[in-house]
Amino acid sequence: MTSHDSHPSSVPPPELVRFTAATFARPGGGAALADLTWAARGGQTWAVVGPVGAGKTTFADAVAGTLVLRAGEAEWPLVARARAAGRDAYFPRDVVRTVSFKEQSRLFSYGQHYYQERFNFTDPLDDITLAAFLGAGATSGPEAVAAVATRLGVGSLLESSFITLSNGQVRRARIARALLAAPELLVLDEPFMGLDAAGREDVSRLLGELVAGGTRVLLITRPGAIPGWVTHVLELDGMRVRWQGPVEAYARQEKKAETENVPVPVSGAAADSPPVLELRDVTVRYGSRAVLHGVSWTVRAGERWALLGPNGSGKSTLLSLACGDHPQAYGNDVRVFGRRRGTGESIWDVKRRIGLVSPELHLYFNEPLSAARAAATGFHDVMAARPTTPDQGATVRRLFAEFGLTEVADRPFARLSTGQQRLVLLVRALVKEPELLILDEPFQGLDRPAIDHAKEWLDRHLRADQTLIFVSHHADEIPASVNRLLRLSEGHVAEMR
């Protein structure tokens, strides 16, 4: 996958992809990108930025050759160059690999599994290990698979079931798998999404090393998260090009500090409120591996908690106990809304009082619904469409208006941008005004204005008796009303205040 793009200074590097006044559409749909003129040359590394719904992921699809050209010209000179070099390459898909938010390959589909299954996955006939996931389609053998996995920080998980991996681990696995396919161009759609601060730094450094070694990368990212190894920026807005040129000339948004070590004041509120969630000396094991060690935590009605910790620290497992998704809740002392799990209540008794957004829920949400109908499933705690009342429909419309989603209400959920989908799922969690709101990385895929608006909405509109547990790897995403902190490290409570 090493390029040979060095040329005498008087000769410009060869073009890799070129669009001239190109208008693209999705198969069976209307125009997706209009009047697009852009070219990428060897030696250039482009970052594509823009607000929610600007067309960033759609642009990545155009580069990968999966859209229909309706007007103008689209050429991929890198395909002919790869074929001349001896590769079996005839179409963009033969030489371009995209790491997208969802994994829907023939090898593994989240839609074939149910959400709770990831915590109790034991069927050997339907299992797939991380090693098998990475090895499928790789151009080299097991040794290379192990080496790349280790480099991406998932080498110790090669024999783990893919469905049990955390969001951050899955992100690393997708990047590793794309690299093993030896693409001529690697398209990364928000590769830092779901990674903690250390993980973001590590992956950025790794990608920078790959770029320095000749790997051609196209990056979809936030305006304030453009790595130093990027040379050019393309800004989209409303499915059109707003700006393009060298990174030095790009007017970057001022980047806010991304540290989790921010002061969190101890709250004196709700001290006499009833417990909503109680964990008493909880330990969770997968075989011989413990992912939670003796965790005790009490969350009272009306409290606002930040749950922090690096990838793999146990946050997702802890939340799955609270939501009733984890079978080991029954073997531990876990009390939700005052009742110990396993004393007669069903999982639906728990879920009807909880609103949830999480990366894993997003991965599993594959129903062919409109955005509005997808949000309305939150009234019934399922992922399939159910009849709604006029009042429920009005609630969805009101929240869509408040979150700027009215224009996409009737569009297929699957065709929305990642950020728009995340906002729809946030509305889904809010529609029934739950007693406990669990927001696990709710702002993934959102731009800064959308994040700030959502934070302000939560601060202003949550009732005093509603409880919030908020998870993020970015301190500047935490709402101002959050005033309690639980930090996990390797399954242990590292800090509580």
Domain boundaries, the chain: 15-249, 275-496
pLDDT for 263 equals 41
pLDDT for 227 equals 93
The tokens for 160 are: 């783990």
- Tell me which DSSP letter residue 413 carries: G
Pairing, β 46-49 against β 68-75: unpaired
**CA nearest neighbour of 225 among 194, 259, 256, 184:** 256
Distance (Å, whole) CA 269 – CA 303: 7
CA distance readout (Å), 17 to 7, 58, 240, 319: 18, 16, 18, 44
CA 315-316-318 angle, 5° bins: 65
Q: Do 15-249 and 275-496 agree at the fold level?
A: yes
Residues 31/24, Cβ–Cβ less than 8 Å:
yes
Fold classification of 15-249 (topology level):
Rossmann fold (3.40.50)
Kindly give the parts of the chain with pLDDT less than 50.
1-3, 103-106, 108-110, 112-118, 121-122, 124-125, 252-268
pLDDT for 306 equals 97
**CA nearest neighbour of 158 among 169, 168, 306, 167:** 169
Residues 193/166, Cβ–Cβ less than 8 Å:
no
pLDDT for 328 equals 84
As assigned by CATH, the class of the 275-496 domain is alpha beta
**CA nearest neighbour of 474 among 268, 238, 340, 308:** 308
